[in-house]
């Protein structure tokens, strides 16, 4: 668990169990410690995780420490937000965005 953001952190080792095998849709933030927009996005994701926790699981994956998953999903920049449903990526968004816009973009996958 990353203390800085308050969001659960997944790794190459547990990605399969935590994301691919999840019952709920999962929003994965591909992030990095050095990424300013990632830090801006963290409180937004924390709010959404609190409000939508019964419909959506939100986790973070550090791209520097987990290259296998990062490469497997073609993540080239941070933050990349990827929504997985039934083990498949169904939506991908790049860059920080305000909470309202993110909720609008997630409406059809929730």
Give the active site residues. Answer: 35, 38
Residues 6+ apart with CB under 8 A from 49: 7, 56, 57, 58
- Under 8 Å between Cβ of 35 and 78: yes
Of all helices (H) and strands (E), which one includes residue 89?
strand 88-94
β-pair type (57-62, 26-31): parallel
């Amino acid at each position: 668990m990353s203390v800085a953001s308050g969001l659960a952190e997944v790794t190459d080792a547990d990605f399969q169990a935590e994301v691919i095998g999840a019952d709920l849709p999962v929003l994965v933030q591909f992030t990095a410690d050095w990424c300013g927009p990632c830090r801006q996005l963290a409180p937004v994701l924390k709010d959404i995780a609190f409000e939508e926790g019964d419909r959506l699981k939100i986790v973070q994956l550090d791209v520097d420490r987990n290259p296998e998953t990062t490469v497997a999903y073609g993540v080239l920049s941070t933050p990349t937000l990827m929504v997985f449903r039934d083990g498949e990526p169904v939506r991908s968004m790049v860059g920080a965005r305000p909470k309202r816009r993110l909720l609008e973009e997630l409406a059809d996958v929730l």
